[in-house]
Amino acid sequence: MDLADILTKDQIVTDLKATNRWEAIDELVDVLVATGKIRPEHRDAVVAVVRKRENSMSTGIGFGIGIPHASTDVIQEVVGALGRSRRGVDFEALDNQPVKLVMLFLVPQGQFQKHLHTLANIAKLLHKAEFRKALEEAPDAETMMDIIRQHCGKK
């Protein structure tokens, strides 16, 4: 699974309001609820599992990237939401730099290999400087989605 498989333009927030990682997680989980990817009654459980994972170690991996993720039994397929912050979010990242791109994803419980594979694909793609720059400069969610599809080899 890669970003083009997980995202639609409706799952992209072009201007995160969040100032810290907890607000960013809440904002992106709300996008998943709004787009029907998770049920409203599961929102709090999803936030709790992502926060629990994030408390064990920040998923701010450096280079302005945060990839909060978790496994949960309330979904049947991998789902995600991408947020962009122009001013940067305090993610307590490994390099202590503000995070500009936050990619939240969830994997169904028990799919450990899919979880690792998805995380690796997302991290590899977001480590490409030209890809990050293109996303950061894109004027809207549709353009961001086009950039993602191009970099994932999808039309």
Give, as one character, the DSSP assignment of residue 20: B
Token pair for residue 122? 């997302």
Alpha-carbon distance of 123 to 1, in angstroms, equals 12
69 catalytic? Reply is yes
Instruction: Give 70-114 pLDDT, tens digit per residue.
Output: 999 999 999 999 999 999 999 988 899 999 999 999 999 988 888
pLDDT tens figures, 114-140:
888 888 888 899 999 999 999 999 999
Determine which one of 69, 115, 117, 127 is catalytic.
69
Q: Are 66 and 89 in contact (CB under 8 A)?
A: yes
Structural domains of the chain sorted by starting position, each given as residue range(s) with its CATH number in brackets: 3-151 (3.40.930.10)
Among 54, 85, 88, 87, which Cα is nearest to 69's? 54
Q: Is the pTM of this model over 0.85?
A: yes
- Rounded to 5°, angle at Cα 10 from 5 and 145: 55
**Rounded-to-integer distance, Cα 151 and Cα 121, Å:** 11
